[in-house]
Amino acid sequence: MIFTAQLTHHVKEPARLGLENGPFAEGGETFSVYNPSTGELLATLPDMGVRETRAAIDAASIAQVAWAALPAKDRSAVMRRWHDLVLAHIDDLAAILTAEMGKPLGESRSELQHAAAYIEWYAEEAKRVYGETIPSPSVDRRMLVIKQPVGVVGTITPWNFPASMVARKISPALAVGCAVILKPAEQTPLIALAMYTLARHAGLPEGVLSLILSSEGDAVGRELCGNPKVRKISFTGSTEVGRILMRQCSDQIKKVSLELGGSAPFIVFDCADIDAAVDGAIQAKFRNAGQTCTSANRFYVQSGVYDEFARKLADETKKLVVGDGFSPTVTIGPLIDERALKKVEAHVADAVYKGATLLCGGEKLDGAGAFYSPAVLSDVHRHMLVACDETFGPVAPIIRFERIEDVIAEANDTIYGLAAYFYATELKKVWRVAEALEYGMIGINTGRMSSEAAPFGGLKQSGIGREGSRHGAEDYLEMKYLCMGNI
């Protein structure tokens, strides 16, 4: 079936990526995708629902058997071709990503390089799924363990990193022999469609990867969670939605991988290199306009360097340029929508009302999009919304602390445990803080730590399971023990 993607002038040649062909909705329903910077209509897409999801699951359950039976090197070869196609089309893909999500074009290219790195990593890991032999306690048997793909996997990806999240979720599943149903966020489906199309061009068999484009995420999610042919759900998004999906999977004791919300502390000790800490803070806070689950949400700075850090961070923040991501001078794009903007505005207003000092930014800017000037707040305390809720926007609240024991306790005083950052040069302090922080990932003297070779995931209510690294592949495998008697 054919559908037409009515893209703006930003995506000049959608046919080069195969966007003229793709999934369809049997009832003819559609939904629209808009550029968050300009408000322009980007595309009208088929609005798929439960019926299409169920059909995709049925097809996947058949295709998965043959896909899993292929030699690992053959699955690896398909994924390697997919990786090569992503890099070959990176400029077109970046334009699509910036048009529908808003982030600066340079950030879009960086995200796509990261996405390709995940595909390449798991193309290699496909050939490294090992079992084990176990020394038998008796002479009449042999004991061994094999690992097999879990089966059909339902994946739900977010809008903030719509390319890298697609790659990070489906690459390990495909590598080990699973079939995948992919439901991207309704705000950013075009990049998922483009990557899906490239995967098919790379030779991925029909049914092994199915794409569900839908504005009805609840209905599609219930079908994925409730359908017994789906053996695992992988979701990235809010903790609130993660709880719902986990409950929906519980009746079938279905496997889940959840990468959920965060409230990352960023701690600067007196012994830190302040200039390096400021540079790391800019990366950890303002990348993707602060719309990152690992974004630094609370800045704790020791008294001895508090004033210097706050001043330098404000000075560097003022240099950031907000606007349309296609402008070469822009370093921060819009927030995803007006709802996100109102939350950021409410957090800043609450902080100022309760005594915080606005050092820079903190206002809505002119333009069709939800543009907001990056803000730095000093004199923040723990009872302000910016210190106890995930802002998910370009706001850096700075809290003063005195003792190491106090900052560790306050940093850990949250239901979240995804990412944390701290800057210190005293080795004894580095080890003490790293081991005491209750987070799945910790950046030490760095503001960026994501890598395809490292396990990504959190503790507490920030999620279950890991993505990336060899551990990411293990989450899509079942372990089977074989006990063989003498024949």
Residues serving a catalytic function are 259, 293
Distance CA 208, CA 173 (A): 10
Distance CA 163, CA 172 (A): 15
**Beta strands, E only, 6-88:** 30-34, 41-46
Distance CA 6, CA 458 (A): 39
Distance CA 99, CA 37 (A): 8
> Do the beta carbons of residue 485 and residue 188 sit within 8 Å?
no
- Cα atoms in the Cβ-side hemisphere of radius 13 Å centred on 450: 23
**Beta strands, E only, 338-394:** 357-360, 375-378
**Beta strands, E only, 184-319:** 209-211, 230-236, 255-259, 264-268, 296-302
> Do the beta carbons of residue 203 and residue 123 sit within 8 Å?
no
**What is the dihedral sign for C-alpha 109, 115, 120, 121?**
positive
